[in-house]
């Protein structure tokens, strides 16, 4: 391709090549038939908070699972006034199918763990706002 007139063809060829490589990589990982779910189009499910935890306007606590068995959680909560730092409290419980196969801990964050029972737990000070964005795990 020596002419600038063929640049759209080059772009299309590169897209095709990228798609073919992506298919080969997915096949090697055993994911040939898996469908990719774009997070922008994923169906987020709003969690039901345990008594005492409060919502932060504009940041609902929600979760979704993609076609690769990865679960994502996002949102903000206000910890109840009865909370004591060092004692775990359950913010919400994930339904079956979204739970990790083993307890997951997030070091350095107030959200301390997610149990195999689906309990999403925190240890924090009373009235503290907790950010639970960017947490994810595999269910299998």
Fold of 39-138: Immunoglobulin-like (2.60.40)
Interval 7-23: pLDDT, tens: 555 544 544 444 444 44
φ, ψ for residue 12, nearest 5 deg? -65, -40
User: CB atoms < 10 A from the CB of 40, how many?
Assistant: 5
Lowest mean pLDDT among 35-44, 51-60, 115-124, 131-140: 35-44
- According to DSSP, the residues that pair with 71 across neighbouring strands are 65, 137
Query: What distance in Å separates the CA atoms of residue 112 and residue 119, rounded to the nearest whole number?
Result: 11
Intra-chain end-to-end CA distance of the chain, in Å: 47
User: What integer pLDDT is reported at residue 83 of this predicted model?
Assistant: 86
**For range 97-122, the mean pLDDT:** 87
Domain ranges of the chain: 1-34, 39-138
User: What integer pLDDT is reported at residue 93 of this predicted model?
Assistant: 97
- According to DSSP, the residues that pair with 89 across neighbouring strands are 122
Three-state DSSP string of 32-69: CCCCCCCHHHCCCEECCCCCCCEECCCCCCEEEECCCC
Global confidence as pTM: 0.67
Q: Are 139 and 98 contacting, i.e. CB atoms less than 8 angstroms apart?
A: yes
């Amino acid at each position: 391709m020596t002419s600038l007139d063929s640049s759209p063809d080059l772009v299309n060829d590169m897209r095709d090549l990228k798609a073919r490589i992506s298919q080969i990589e997915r096949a090697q990982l055993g994911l040939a038939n898996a469908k990719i779910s774009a997070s922008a189009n994923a169906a987020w499910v709003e969690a039901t908070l345990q008594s005492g935890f409060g919502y932060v306007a504009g940041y609902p606590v929600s979760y979704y699972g993609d076609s690769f068995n990865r679960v994502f959680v996002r949102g903000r909560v206000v910890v109840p006034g009865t909370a004591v730092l060092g004692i775990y409290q359950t913010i919400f419980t994930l339904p079956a199918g979204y739970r990790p196969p083993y307890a997951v801990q997030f070091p350095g964050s107030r959200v301390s763990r997610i149990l195999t029972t689906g309990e999403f737990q925190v240890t924090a000070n009373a009235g503290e706002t907790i950010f639970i964005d960017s947490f994810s795990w595999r269910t299998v």
